[in-house]
Amino acid sequence: QVQLVESGGGVAQPGRSLRLSCAASGFTFSYYAMHWVRQAPGKGLEWVAIISYDGVSKFYTDSVKGRFTISRDNSKNTLYLQMNSLRVEDTAVYYCARDPSYCTSGGCHSDLYGMEVWGQGTTVTVSS
């Protein structure tokens, strides 16, 4: 079955860095675009970033532009989120999620509704 497992969360001081990972299994990872979504304690969901199936195209929410970098290693079936210059307001549970859009050798299917499958999340706490 489709599974997404995040790791790499922890406690970091403001201004420091963390790298999150998301290991995918149960589907052909290299076919799908992938998202990161976060949820601050007691708050709602916030979309963070998306990366295309081939890693070429990347888009971010305004509050993380220039600080966070989404990337992927299709040979390792793994998605990453490099978080630099962390702020207290980055404290959240970070979820990776599979986008419904995919590309195969036979062509591409696009759907822009959001997130089809979610991981269980990893917690990031930014505090001095």
Partner 1 sequence: QSALTQPRSVSGSPGQSVTISCTGTSSDVGGYNYVSWYQQHPGKAPKLMIYDVTKGPSGVPDRFSGSKSGNTASLIISGLQAEDEADYYCCSYAGSYTWVFGGGTKVTVL
Q: Which residues bind partner 1 (CB under 8 A)?
A: 35, 37, 44-47, 50, 57, 59, 61-62, 95, 100, 111-121
Parallel, antiparallel or unpaired: strands 122-126 and 10-12: parallel
Of 20 and 50, which CB lies nearer to partner 1 in the complex structure? Answer: 50
What's the min distance (Å) between Cβ of 11 and partner 1? Answer: 20
Q: CB atoms < 10 A from the CB of 5, how many?
A: 15
What's the min distance (Å) between Cβ of 12 and partner 1? Answer: 23
Q: CB atoms < 10 A from the CB of 39, how many?
A: 15
Of 90 and 121, which CB lies nearer to partner 1 in the complex structure? Answer: 121
What's the min distance (Å) between Cβ of 3 and partner 1? Answer: 11
Q: How far is the C-alpha of 33 from the C-alpha of 50, rounded, in Å? A: 7
What's the min distance (Å) between Cβ of 16 and partner 1? Answer: 26
Of 8 and 100, which CB lies nearer to partner 1 in the complex structure? Answer: 100
Per the listing, tokens 């076919």 go with 31
Of 14 and 114, which CB lies nearer to partner 1 in the complex structure? Answer: 114
Residue 30 has φ and ψ, to the nearest 5°, of -70, -10
DSSP label at residue 29:
G
